[in-house]
Amino acid sequence: MARAVEEYLKPEVVRRIARLDLRAQFIVKGFLQGLHASPYQGFSVEFSEHRKYAPGDDPKDIDWLVYAKTDKHYIKKFEAETNITGYLAIDTSASMAYTYRQELTKLDYSISLAAALCWLMVHQQDPCGLMVFDEKIRTSLPARSRRSQIAQVLSVLAKIRPSGRTDIARSLVQIAAMLRHRSLVMVFSDLLADQAPVQDALRRLRHRGHDVILFHVLDEAEVRFPFEGMLELTEPEADDRLVVDADAARSGYVAAVEEFREDYRAFCFRCGIDYVPLDTSMQFDRALTEYLVSRRNRF
């Protein structure tokens, strides 16, 4: 235990965590400022303290003050109904280390957004946990809502280094087996793997009653292919290499990426999963808005 404390208190670790915490607060602050001036005020029904009266509810729970104002029957939600238990599931395989000209890699971008979501959830008193995976789950933190949880999550995130191959499907199956209660699972990955097993694993999560948000994080260059001339491409997890003429390949490549994203979008729509396509040039507050608005559209 002493070693863990010493590691946590090393100056470079403290500095990384502090920067991450500031970044998380900056992202959330920017989002909230934008939300205040947007049509999405009151975006999240699940954060309301009331819900419509339904047959079988105890009439004693009806809020008569709300009835007097709205002429509609609403009952007060109990804490168990209003709290959301969230888990951040982050792909840390080697392909997530890629960046072409953006300041942040795909993993850096995912970590920053995950840190902001953790900060936001805990400040709403919603329990938030963490799972880090490549070929399998490497690290996990149980979901908690106390303020110290932010530091715990940030401590793990600050130490993450991308490496190894990925097995997204296997990791998602592990996550499904680990969760004992209905949860909100927020997955961050570039999804560079065979689609069929990944989609099957996502479907299993939904069938177990979990809500799923799929953050599909690609580098800006992976989406737009801004290269010219002869180009050597390297597959980071297998070290395979391919030389292509970028100008000749561009239109076919961009069409393939659009088809890749559209396939996931259509699949997620059918399964009731929120699909949030992102690239590393997108501002974080916009990315966070995409997430929260997608939640709004589900309720």
DSSP string of 158-199? Answer: HH----S---HHHHHHHHHHH--S--EEEEEE---S-HHHHH
Residue 64 has pLDDT above 80, yes or no: no
So what's the pLDDT on residue 33? 57
**Residue 59 neighbours by CB distance under 10 Å:** 8
With a pLDDT cut of 90, the percent of the chain lying above it is 37
Q: Which residue has the tokens 């000209």?
A: 101
So what's the pLDDT on residue 154? 87
**Residue ranges per structural domain of the chain:** 2-37+83-298, 45-79
The residue among 103, 56, 124, 86 whose CA lies nearest residue 212 is 86
- For residue 180, name the pLDDT band (cuts at 50, 70, 90): confident
Q: Which residue has the tokens 């990955």?
A: 189
**Residue 137 neighbours by CB distance under 10 Å:** 17
- Which has more confidence, 250 or 288? 250
Taking each helix axis from N to C end, the angle separating 284-298 and 106-123, rounded to the nearest 10 degrees, works out to 60
Phi, then psi, of 188 in degrees rounded to 5: -115, 115
Residue 79 has pLDDT above 70, yes or no: no
Distance CA 188, CA 214 (A): 6
So what's the pLDDT on residue 293? 63
Query: Which CATH number does 2-37+83-298 carry?
Result: 3.40.50.410
Q: Residue 90's beta-bridge partner residues? A: 132, 188
- Which has more confidence, 206 or 233? 206
Task: Share the mean pLDDT of the chain.
Answer: 79
So what's the pLDDT on residue 204? 94
Alpha carbon separation from 210 to 124, 176, 180, 272, 290 (Å, rounded): 20, 9, 10, 10, 20
- For residue 160, name the pLDDT band (cuts at 50, 70, 90): confident
So what's the pLDDT on residue 13? 45
So what's the pLDDT on residue 56? 66
Least confident of 146-155, 209-218, 240-249: 240-249
The helices-and-strands tally (H runs, E runs) of the chain is: 11, 10
Distance CA 56, CA 270 (A): 30
- Which has more confidence, 39 or 94? 94
- For residue 243, name the pLDDT band (cuts at 50, 70, 90): confident
Over residues 84-91, mean pLDDT: 93
Residue 148 has pLDDT above 60, yes or no: yes
**Residue 200 neighbours by CB distance under 10 Å:** 12
pTM of the model: 0.74
So what's the pLDDT on residue 8? 39
Over residues 75-88, mean pLDDT: 68
Over residues 294-298, mean pLDDT: 56
The residue among 248, 241, 202 whose CA lies nearest residue 227 is 248
3-state helix, strand, coil in the chain (%, to 5): 50, 20, 30
So what's the pLDDT on residue 147? 86
- For residue 138, name the pLDDT band (cuts at 50, 70, 90): very high
**Residue 267 neighbours by CB distance under 10 Å:** 17
Alpha carbon separation from 185 to 12, 57, 179, 196 (Å, rounded): 30, 29, 10, 19
The residue among 93, 26, 98, 96 whose CA lies nearest residue 283 is 26
